[in-house]
Structure 1
Amino acid sequence: MERQEASALVPVLEEQELRLTLGQFTHDDAWRLGGLLRELAVRRRAPVAVTVLRGPQRLFHCALPGSSADNDEWLARKCRVVERYAESSYLVGTRFRAKGTTFEESARLDPARYAAHGGAFPLRVRGVGVIGAVAASGLRQADDHALVVAALERFAG
């Protein structure tokens, strides 16, 4: 992604995060959101692993055919970015690219533990802030991100 393209994408990603702020988020909501995400992935025949976290606790996880243990590691790395920055992993990586650099070059974080690639999205509760993350791994980063956003839109709608 070129710097200009990244700069144009940042406000789109910021708007998604504002729009997809939730009124509440319970353990039952995690199961429902995870199920929606799995359902969308199955329909698209997407070989992904998905997870829903509330703080450090994994409330939902599944791996679809074609995914691997490597996807679980990507989920963990992307969710650490959400936890640290309180923004989607795609937005964080895109902001670095808009500045003409990369997350790996400039964040000063261990790339074995953090990945600012698309696919992890903050679970933000109105009046509370970020309480967790929902994530997918197995597709191109823009597609992982879009899959998660589609599930959140259905969940919030």
Structure 2
Amino acid sequence: MNTINLTELLDQEKQLLFAEFDNNIAWQIGCALKQAAEKCSAKVAIEVYAFEQVLFSYAMQGTSMDNQEWIRRKRQSVMRFGHSTFFSGQYNASKKRDFESQPHIDAKEYCTHGGAFPIRLKSGGLIGVVTVSGLPQEEDHNLVVNVLRGIIYENEDT
């Protein structure tokens, strides 16, 4: 699988913005992620977090508490650094450094394994994170991005 370059990852973040966001949209995203994962027989845990609370959480059969811990660490990384975890991981790799071993990073609290993507409004501001855990990191990332793309474009048409 080809790794997405940093410019493409930043472009995804610039393009995947919401005109508005509420609990119903969070539910729509979570359900769409579950359906997409089932379609490809993936076993993932899913979280949609916004407004300082978990709005959707689902753990598919075959996942474990480890997936929940990955989700927490991924979410915290996006909320602190403002970028998808896949971007942050690829950025640090491009600098030839390990994110989790930097002196200002607590590896028990943050990670840059792909699968967490920022929820941003077009009017500006990071309001939350969509996170998937259970697949290889690039696949987690792509699952989230593809579902967000579909939801955002669908909501723009209505």
TM-score normalised by the chain length of structure 1: 0.92
Superposition pairs of residues 7-26 of structure 1, within 5 angstroms: 9-26=5-22
Alignment correspondent of 1:57: 53
Query: Counterpart of 2:135 in structure 1: which amino acid?
Result: L
Q: Which residue of 1 is the match for residue 156 of structure 2?
A: none
Structure 2 equivalent of residue 114 of structure 1 = 110
Q: Residue by residue, what CA displacement relative to the aligned partner does 1:75-102 show, whole Å, maximum 9, x if unpaired?
A: 0000000000111011111111111112
- Aligned in 2, Cα 1:15/1:117: closer, same or farther, shift over 3 Å? same
Other-structure match for 1:130 = 126
**Do residues 43 (structure 1) and 39 (structure 2) align?**
yes
Q: Report SS of the residue matched to 1:153.
A: helix
Which residue of 2 is the match for residue 152 of structure 1? 148
Percent same amino acid among aligned pairs? 37
Q: Name the CA shift for 1:126/1:107 in 2 (closer, same or farther; >3 Å).
A: farther
Name the SS of the counterpart of 1:127 in structure 2. coil
Deviation of 1:73 after TM superposition, in Å, equals: 0.4
Amino acid at match of 1:42: E
Check the 8 A contact 2:44/2:132 in 1, yes or no.
yes
TM-score normalised according to structure 2 size: 0.92
Structure 2 unmatched runs, 5+: 154-158
CA distance in 2, matches of 1:102, 1:69: 25
Q: Deviations over 1:32-67 (max 9, x none)?
A: 011111110111111100000003200000011111
Give 1:52's aligned amino acid.
Answer: V
